[in-house]
Amino acid sequence: MKDKNIFLRLTYYVIGLFIIAVGINFSKMAGIGISPVSSVPRVLELIWGFTLGKMVILCYCVLVLAQLAVLRKKFRISHCLGVAVGIVFGSIVDFVGIDPKAKGHLLMNFPRPQNYPFRLLYLTLSIAIIAVGVYLYLKPQLTPMPAEGLAQAIADVSGKPFGDCKTLVDTSIIALAFALQFAFLGGVRSLTGDMVVVREGTLISALSVGQVVKFLKKIAD
């Protein structure tokens, strides 16, 4: 989409971020594991009591610093745009979210699933919604979000395929989130109730979103 005008590309980009934020909040409401890249922000939200969007901003800034550590002299000022993306995206997450402490919280009064079949339904909806958002956000080929930026940095330095590096980054984020969840949110008890962060839904999302995005590209491009 590089040949399209910048306004159209930005429109796709922002709409994509908005849709991803809606999908993340649906996975949060599902209560059987949040989407992978949001897992560490969700743990920190529960530990420190700040909103999910604020923790997204913090974690995305850390991921940009990780890019600096990986790239070193190859790091460019343009990589700092990931911080701006994090601020915008974190603000959108709170705006459409379910936290009464956040500004907007558009989904706060949305019905919560009360049994496992409906939790699976919300998870399925979150996967589909996130995939649509990712497809739209990637289409204009603008600044990647910091998790993808870190994966690209590792690929550039190591020479390994981007897909392998993306899997490494996502797996590391999930592992860190699970460790924090287990250590600070009640151990085994954190696998049920309101303290759930990493569970089967996280793994299902990790395996499914990319495949849905691939399908969307196949039918739409």
Asked, for residue 1, whether it belongs to a domain, the answer is: no
What is the tens place of the pLDDT at every residue in 57-86? 999 999 999 999 999 988 888 889 999 999
* Structural domains counted in the chain: 1
Please determine, for residue 2, whether its predicted confidence score (pLDDT) is greater than 70.
no
Asked, for residue 119, whether it belongs to a domain, the answer is: yes
Q: Select from 64, 66, 24 the least CA-distant residue to 41.
A: 24
pLDDT band at 201 (very low <50, low <70, confident <90, very high): very high
List, as own/partner pairs, every contact residues 70-79 make where C-beta atoms lie below 8 angstroms and the sequence separation is at least 24, other chains included. 70/150, 70/153, 70/154, 70/157, 71/153, 71/156, 71/157, 74/156, 74/157, 78/143, 79/149, 79/153
Candidate from 40-49, 78-87, 94-103, 112-121 with smallest mean pLDDT = 94-103
Whole domain around residue 127: which residue ranges? 6-220
What is the tens place of the pLDDT at every residue in 79-105? 899 999 999 999 999 999 888 887 777
Q: Cα 212–213–216 angle (5° rounding)?
A: 90
Candidate from 7-11, 148-152, 191-195 with smallest mean pLDDT = 191-195
In this prediction the pTM is 0.90
Please determine, for residue 3, whether its predicted confidence score (pLDDT) is greater than 60.
no
Q: Give strand ranges (E) for 89-174.
A: none
Q: What is the pLDDT of residue 92?
A: 95
In the predicted model, what is the mean pLDDT of the chain?
90
Average pLDDT over residues 190-219: 86
Q: What is the pLDDT of residue 89?
A: 96
Q: What is the pLDDT of residue 130?
A: 92
CA gap 217, 220 in Å, rounded: 5
Please determine, for residue 4, whether its predicted confidence score (pLDDT) is greater than 70.
no
Please determine, for residue 193, whether its predicted confidence score (pLDDT) is greater than 90.
no
CA gap 39, 31 in Å, rounded: 12
Instruction: Tell me the torsion sign for CA atoms 128, 129, 132, 133.
Output: negative
Q: What is the pLDDT of residue 194?
A: 72
Asked, for residue 125, whether it belongs to a domain, the answer is: yes
Instruction: Tell me the torsion sign for CA atoms 174, 177, 182, 183.
Output: positive
